[in-house]
Amino acid sequence: MQKICISRVSKVRVRLTFCSRIDPIVEELNSYRLLLLFRLGLCRYAMKPFLGFVCTIMFYIVYRTTNYQYLQTELDSKLYRFYTSKESVVASTLKGLPRGIIEAKSDLELKPLWSTSSSKLEANNSTPHNLLAMPVGLKQKRNVNTIVQKFLQENFTIILFHYDGKLDGWQDLEWSNKAIHVVAQNQTKWWYAKRFLHPAAVSIYDYIFLWDEDLGVQHFNPKRYLNIVKTEGLEISQPALDPNSTGIHHRITVRKRTNKFHRRVYDSRGSVKCSDASDGPPCAGFVEGMAPVFSRAAWHCAWHLIQNDLVHGWGMDIKLGYCAQGDRSKKVGIVDSEYVVHQGIQSLGGPSAKKTRNSLDLRKTNTVDMRAEIRRQSTMELKMFKRRWEKAVKEDTNWVDPFLRRRGRKQRLDM
């Protein structure tokens, strides 16, 4: 009888050993649930009834816990798939290089051709971590100079996109040689951003200010602005607009005089009603395209959202909340205490021909109304962007809209 008992125990040990040896093979299947079920099926029959019952209960508890972790991991990978790069991917694309030589990041800092003691000291004492990028034309030189002077005081890096091609007109400014200048005739802000602000190229900057040139900054201080943004955890933001600004399109961007910042607006006027139930653009989680400010992570996402061929960017501001690194109603906001004046100066294409001549003269001279053509192109691009978004959502069966899920959860709680 003793030999028989030893034989049974040895069989159990053999089977348990077999269970442990096949673990690496099962793990390659990348499925926690399959692993646990497989273990359960092999190990349950290797024990006495009582031990088998205990084993079943234990594995059931572990299965439920692991299954929850698995589902949570899957959900996170869908919501934040822009930020889940694997070393294996890098290794496969850069396998021709030794790992230690790979430099995946870049910046827009000017480097001296030779080193001196003063340049070394300056590099050690003042390293900028924020970036101001603006499309500019020579006609707005005075206003741009005012903006840049404020940002240079806070040690920002400056990059100017010259859409009119007139670079020489900026050389007399003291700070001109410290800025980065990019010249491309008649291109938009989003065209420049897509090509020259790649996340890898701006990876050292904590915040990227992607502003228009026609903003009055008399009541704006970059340092105080960033202090508010950091304290409140805003990943995407913009300064509020003075109520007297030109070209205010959304009520949420208007400055609230008694607030430091705000994340939503309540408005019963117009076609869009904003109430407590409104948790999305343009009532909450929204900034407009003239003066957005992005954190590093938010810009990494937003850069991928910019369509390479849709240069006017219409409609993209409605979707920026998906790059807010969480709940857009909390991570996106308008800063009221540091506000700007939007002057609404139309630059690309020049003034509208309708303002300079009547339609009869326009037909006689066969002159193209550039502003009208730009508006027509912008409207067409807006429709294309909407179609692409709808198509992408339909085709990506693994993507889950995080805001629809939250809305459904909120509705169930209210019931």
pLDDT tens readout for residues 39-96: 555 445 455 666 777 777 777 776 776 666 666 555 555 444 444 444 455 557 888 8
- Residues forming beta bridges with residue 340, ordered by sequence position: 241
Contact by Cβ (8 Å): 360, 263: no
Q: Is the pLDDT of residue 4 over 50?
A: no
| Residue the block writes with tokens 């972790």 | 69
pLDDT attached to residue 331: 97
Q: Mapping DSSP to helix (H, G, I), strand (E, B) and coil, where does residue 210 land?
A: strand
Rounded distance, CA 90 to CA 108, Å? 23
The rounded distance, in Å, linking the Cα atoms of 228 and 338 is 9
What is the pLDDT at residue 312?
92
Residue 82, pLDDT score: 44
Cα 359 to Cα 347, 362, 364, 370: the distances in Å are 22, 5, 9, 14
Q: Which of the four pLDDT bands, split at 50, 70 and 90, describes residue 399? A: very high
How much of the chain, in percent, has pLDDT values that exceed 70? 70
Q: Lowest mean pLDDT: which of 109-118, 214-223, 291-300?
A: 109-118
90: part of which helix (H) or strand (E)? helix 87-93
Q: Are 332 and 283 in contact (CB under 8 A)?
A: no
Assessment of whether the complete model's pTM goes beyond 0.85: no
**Distance, CA of 310 to CA of 298 (rounded, Å):** 20
Q: Is the pLDDT of residue 1 over 50?
A: no
pLDDT value of residue 61? 77
CA distance 166 to 207: 28
Closest CA to 391 of 307, 300, 280, 279: 307
Per-residue confidence (pLDDT) for residue 238, from 0 to 100 = 98
Instruction: Over range 121-125, report the average pLDDT.
Output: 49
pLDDT digit string, tens, across residues 244-275 = 988 788 999 999 999 999 999 998 777 788 98
DSSP-derived secondary structure letter, 274: B
pLDDT at 413 > cutoff 50: no
pLDDT score of 115? 76
Whether 414 has a pLDDT exceeding 80, the answer reads: no
Q: What is the pLDDT confidence band of residue 3, given thresholds at 50, 70 and 90?
A: very low
pLDDT confidence of residue 271? 76
Structure confidence at residue 74 (pLDDT): 57
- pLDDT confidence of 117, banded at 50, 70, 90? low
Residue 5 confidence (pLDDT): 44
b (16+ CB within 10 A) / e for 222-234: beebbebbeeeeb
In terms of DSSP H, where are the helices of 178-221?
A: 189-196
Indicate if the pLDDT at residue 11 is higher than 50: no
User: Is 90 exceeded by the pLDDT of residue 404?
Assistant: no
The mean pLDDT of the chain is 80
Say yes or no to pLDDT of 22 above 50: no
Given a contact cutoff of 8 angstroms between Cβ atoms, the answer to whether 36 and 63 are in contact is yes
pLDDT value, residue 128: 57
Region of 409 on the Ramachandran plot (φ > 0 left; ψ -120 to 50 alpha; else beta): alpha
For residue 102, what are its two tokens?
């790979």
Question: Residue 365: is its pLDDT beyond 60?
Answer: no
pLDDT digits (tens, 9 = 90+) for 195-251: 999 999 999 999 999 999 999 999 999 999 999 999 999 999 999 999 998 878 899
Supply the pLDDT for residue 41: 54
- The residue type at 341: V
CA 390/CA 100 separation, integer angstroms: 42
CA distance 274 to 267: 5
| Segment 157-169, tens digit of pLDDT | 999 999 999 999 9
